[in-house]
Chain A
């Protein structure tokens, strides 16, 4: 139990697949197989926040549970801190924190402090340090004043904070956060994000799943997008913008465009992608454009004769990137 963490990345996932089987029916049971992960490869460096983005059902929680030793992969290998998650759980579990969040996962009829005491004992937090450490994490998540109230009296946000307090109680080297701000009001979500950021300063590697784009953009220097059980992209936010064809987005709106006009716009320098949407009588063209190429004025110039032409420029958001990549995967 005193072996140091092996050098190398915090997480190394190679061709991990996971299939779930379920049965339907009573007398004549029908077996259904669902492939949640279809060969995931992923590397996460230490002491940073890594974000895993993906729509509902993409496999984020499945991957998180595999990495946190709560689920076995059907095939492939997953190393955390250099140790195999299927064979070296005794070594890994004391070094990992897991926050699945939500309303469940806590003993609601006892106090927050008593919940933490229980898990401190299961994680082997030294008895001499236990009470001090509990006070410390309660202060960190701003639950000191509610610590002795029953958890059933807590709001959703307070429960989430208690989940986080439990996750960091034993000072893990790596913390898995599965949608840590889902269902929280904006203030609680902001506080949670602030806390998550502060943990990196303590030397913790954080693996965070979310489907909130702004959260990923705000917290994660590097991230991956998981869609239908596959990693469809992995990079920094700016790298992902480049991947989808440009860090600038031009939105062009008018009462319809002719095919000829679309071809002209597509041929403008730096335009890598056009998405057409109808909304009411209007049509919107969304163009991904590389830096320093094609300006608003150039677009206006090639689309004469539109009385109600509107052209706006904005920075390509992570949400744009995400939707482009996930849509491509769906197609």
Chain B
């Protein structure tokens, strides 16, 4: 039986497998319609009404605010939650027992969450444009798209770290639930960080999305004054913090896996 066995896994293939699995699980579970399809419509309407009339670029603020609100949950929360789901299903044990490092599986799950988060962002855009009767004035549409995707990447990087917490303990969801709105406000998802009390800024700067969102606002709102010195310092800050998070994820996944094998809590849910 062992004669023709393959002894090597491919990280890329495992990531694609996890991406495909996430897609099938998403399609098989109608509850996802609410955060991914219905919530963005509501966020878009609320955000449009909230920002309406506040300056020439209120539409951009409305799209960014609501878009981030629907995307951060889908991308960041969803990424951690997917691992929590593996705990609940009892699939975390066979997945960790497979030769592929679990980080590749998490990456696949996160990529799916980025894709579904983008869908939410697109819905917000369509809703706000429909209510406003036209698209926002974007000085550089290409920069908007590129930086929008970049923001998703930074959210995904945080999501990967959150996923490690779900491997570590079944109580990660509890911790994430406590921190999610603080994170949402603190990273400037809804409105710029500079509007927050100064003491919150150092905390906010630890999170990659804070930098990326600030860069996005610099790129698409002329005259915007963020916490940084402009677009490129923000991009550099986002690249540095995202890289740090991905390095951290690579390192802590190994340690977390070792920890759960020591503690023996993989089947707890």
Contacts and interface: CB of A to CB of B under 8 A. Distances in A.
Interface of A: 1-2, 18, 20-21, 62, 65, 68-72, 90, 93-96, 98, 100, 102, 104-110, 114, 117-119, 121-127, 129, 150, 166, 168, 170-173, 199, 202-204
A102 B90 CA distance: 10
Interface centre among A68, A122, A203, A204 (most CB of B within 10 A): A122
B264 interface: yes
Interface of B: 1-10, 13-14, 16-18, 20-21, 24-25, 28-29, 89-91, 93-100, 105, 258, 261-264, 266
A109 B17 contact: no
A100 B93 contact: yes
Contact of B9 (A104, A124, A129, A168): A124
A15 B185 CA distance: 54
Given A94-B99, A124-B13, 8 more contacts: A2-B7, A72-B261, A90-B99, A96-B97, A108-B89, A122-B17, A124-B6, A173-B5
28 contacts: A1-B8, A68-B97, A70-B261, A72-B261, A93-B97, A94-B6, A94-B8, A95-B5, A98-B97, A100-B94, A109-B29, A110-B28, A117-B17, A118-B18, A119-B94, A122-B100, A122-B105, A123-B6, A123-B99, A123-B100, A124-B8, A126-B6, A129-B4, A168-B1, A170-B5, A172-B2, A173-B1, A202-B1
Contacts of A70: 93, 96-97, 261, 266
Contacts of B8: 1, 94, 124
B262 A72 contact: yes
A121 B90 CA distance: 19
Contacts of A65: 264
B1 A204 contact: yes
Contacts of A170: 5-6
Contact of B5 (A108, A121, A171): A171
A203 B9 contact: no
A2 B264 CA distance: 30
Contact of B91 (A1, A107, A129, A150): A107
A70 B24 CA distance: 27
Contact of A203 (B2, B6, B14, B100): B2
Given A106-B91, A107-B91, A71 B97 contact: no
B99 A93 contact: yes
A71 to B, nearest CB: 5
Nearest to A163: B94
B90 A105 contact: yes
Nearest to B15: A121
B25 A122 contact: no
Contact of B6 (A100, A125, A204): A125
